[in-house]
Amino acid sequence: MSPELPRLLDYALALAREAGTHTARHFGKPIEVETKSDLSPVTVADRETEELCRRRIAGDWPDHGILGEEFGTVPDRGSGFQWVIDPIDGTKSFISGLPLYTVLLALLKDGKPILGIIHQPILDETVWAGVGLGAYYNGSPTWLRQQADLSKAWLMCTDPTHLLHEYPSAGLELFNSESIIRSWGDGYCYLLVASGRADIMNDPRMNLWDLACLKPIIEEAGGIFSDLEGNPGLGSSCLVANPSLHPTVLRLFRK
């Protein structure tokens, strides 16, 4: 564990909460929605919140790099640190008035995530972790639920149509195996898994700003993080579950 990590984690928590407060000023109010080149929605709240985070980091950690969903990459100045920002993960929930969007914040050291935060400001829920420091939900240690039976597991997903489009056979088999399936969650579903209130979350399409915070959180909470091919690094998809369920689910995608 880096001796700087506790201080960096405290800083990141304060920044994520400040960012969440800013998003909340726009939540539930009429807001103009634009469509980006990848056909995903974006609002002034997304952009303002990322700009806020970038200003804070540039002022407080000038040798750190930054990657954000809305404004791209600023390289580090030899420090090896890179902050990864998703100012509003779940913009569709945000613009629909559903309090399931989250602020995602991560810090990488030499390309590897060393801390992660998922913050939901409307419900005042936060899960965070630092490598070697454990995982916490609203200030208390947290672990994944140890459900071993797939037929009794609770599956979360962002949009089931994405999974069925990318993995029609595995997706259908997985959905038919579960006792409860819920969607609309984005980062909030990973918060539910990390805080022991759901068992499995997967996404077939993800970017670094979606993924970076998840690996330290899930692993410090006793779970397994991988892509849908089973690779443990930061890829373009994601599967998280406890050590009993993860290999069972992964086998469906490897058939």
Q: Residue 183: what pLDDT?
A: 83
DSSP state of 157: E
Token readout for 225 is 């993080």
Task: Please list, in sequence order, all residues whose beta carbon lies within 8 angstroms of the beta carbon of residue 68, skipping any fewer than 6 positions away.
Answer: 50, 53, 54, 84, 85, 86, 87, 209
Angle (nearest 5°) at CA 7 between 213 and 101: 30
CA quadruple 55, 59, 64, 66: dihedral, nearest 10: 0
pLDDT along the chain (255 residues), means of 10: 88 98 97 93 97 98 98 96 98 95 98 98 98 98 97 93 92 90 90 98 95 98 97 96 98 88
Q: What SS3 state is found at 221?
A: coil
What is this structure's pTM?
0.96
Q: Residue 1: what pLDDT?
A: 60
Q: Are 209 and 110 in contact (CB under 8 A)?
A: no
